[in-house]
């Protein structure tokens, strides 16, 4: 990166994840809000990005107590997927990030032009802290496993699709996960939806999600954004590590009037055993309902 009479500062991190995963979590606003802070008393409640040369981006960074905040904005100068990203900030300082793949490890180097208000060392520490937080987020997210389940149902894909999403039937087949399981929201593409249940003490919990894709009778993709705790939606911070960005996909394949329903879910190791037992039971319950 060329510069004149400006101090350049470089921070770096070796991240235990393939470069494709690192690039995705670095550039997707849904993930940016979960790692873009230098300390636990700050967060990024909103982020937007038009990832192309000439496209703009912005992140709203705020102290959690509401005492202060600022918008971090810029324009992309170079976008080379999985390799390089450079941009110019609102004050005309330039930043360059390189992503170097080493198999299951990725080295991220971030070089930026220093501002003149704070010392270079303070700036280095701040940017390094954010990069370290990103490393922690990626490596936690990379620990997720994708689990696959399927069931053959003796009816059409249309009937399986409609039965699965019907509010009454949904409560019935997902009761195998939680007796109080239900949803609130819309199954339309792009809409927010909450998956809700109560624990033994009556505390309300669940997932905050959005419908990433919905092709009727063919495919549904749910993206989990965070968690629900007593009607409080949490979509950033350490509480959602390992859940934000997780996908739950349903594929409906009809052959000869019968349907193969395939389910692919991302989960962390803590829930792997639970899901391996609960999902087959839930899908068999859905099969029973559809074939009545």
CATH number at residue 200: 3.30.530.20
The whole-number pLDDT of residue 4 equals 55
- Same domain? For 193 and 113 the reply is no
The whole-number pLDDT of residue 2 equals 46
- Same domain? For 133 and 189 the reply is no
Domain-located, residue 3 = no
What mean pLDDT, rounded, does the chain reach? 92
How many structural domains compose the chain? 2
What number is the average pLDDT over the span 90-115? 96
Contact 106, 22 (CB under 8 A): yes
- Same domain? For 186 and 65 the reply is no
- Same domain? For 164 and 262 the reply is yes
The whole-number pLDDT of residue 231 equals 78
CA dihedral 18, 19, 22, 27 (to 10 degrees): -150
Which among 99, 100, 61, 95 has a CA at the least distance from the CA of 76? 95
- Same domain? For 137 and 254 the reply is no
Residue 43's pLDDT band (cuts 50, 70, 90) = confident
Q: Which of 62-76, 170-184, 209-223 has the highest mean pLDDT?
A: 170-184
pTM of the model: 0.58
- Same domain? For 63 and 153 the reply is no
> Does 140 score more than 80 pLDDT?
no
Question: Is the model more confident about 291 or about 32?
Answer: 291
The whole-number pLDDT of residue 3 equals 47
Domain span including residue 257: 145-290
Neighbouring residues of 256: CB distance < 8 A, sequence distance ≥ 6: none
Domain-located, residue 117 = yes
- Same domain? For 107 and 187 the reply is no
- Same domain? For 131 and 189 the reply is no
- Same domain? For 102 and 227 the reply is no
Contact 290, 153 (CB under 8 A): yes
Contact 97, 108 (CB under 8 A): yes
The whole-number pLDDT of residue 241 equals 67
Question: Is the model more confident about 12 or about 202?
Answer: 12
Q: β-pairing, 192-198 with 204-215?
A: antiparallel
């Amino acid at each position: 990166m060329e510069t004149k009479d400006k101090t350049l500062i470089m921070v770096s991190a070796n991240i235990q994840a393939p470069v494709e995963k690192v690039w995705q979590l670095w550039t997707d606003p849904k993930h940016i809000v979960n790692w873009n802070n230098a300390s636990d008393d700050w967060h990024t409640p909103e982020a937007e990005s038009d990832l192309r040369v000439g496209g703009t981006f912005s992140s709203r960074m705020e102290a959690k107590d509401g005492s202060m905040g600022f918008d971090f904005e810029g324009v992309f100068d170079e976008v080379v997927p999985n390799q390089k990203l450079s941009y110019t900030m609102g004050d005309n300082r330039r930043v360059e990030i390189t992503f170097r793949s080493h198999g299951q490890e990725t080295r991220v180097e971030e070089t930026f032009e220093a501002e003149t208000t704070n010392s270079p060392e303070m700036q280095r520490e701040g940017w390094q802290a954010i990069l370290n937080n990103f490393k922690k987020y990626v490596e936690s997210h990379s620990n997720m496993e994708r689990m696959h389940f399927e069931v053959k149902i003796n009816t059409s894909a249309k009937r399986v699709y409609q039965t699965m999403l019907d509010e009454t039937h949904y409560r019935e087949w997902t009761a195998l996960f939680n007796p109080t399981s239900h949803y609130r929201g819309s199954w339309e593409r792009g809409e927010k939806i909450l998956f809700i249940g109560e624990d033994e003490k009556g505390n309300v919990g669940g997932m905050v999600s959005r419908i990433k894709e919905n092709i009727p009778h063919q495919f549904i993709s749910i993206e989990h954004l965070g968690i629900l705790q007593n009607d409080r939606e949490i979509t950033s911070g350490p509480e959602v590590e390992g859940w934000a960005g997780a996908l739950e996909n349903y594929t409906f394949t009809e052959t000869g009037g019968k349907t193969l329903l395939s389910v692919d879910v991302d989960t962390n190791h803590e829930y792997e055993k639970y899901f391996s037992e609960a999902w087959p039971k839930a899908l068999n319950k859905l099969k029973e309902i559809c074939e009545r």
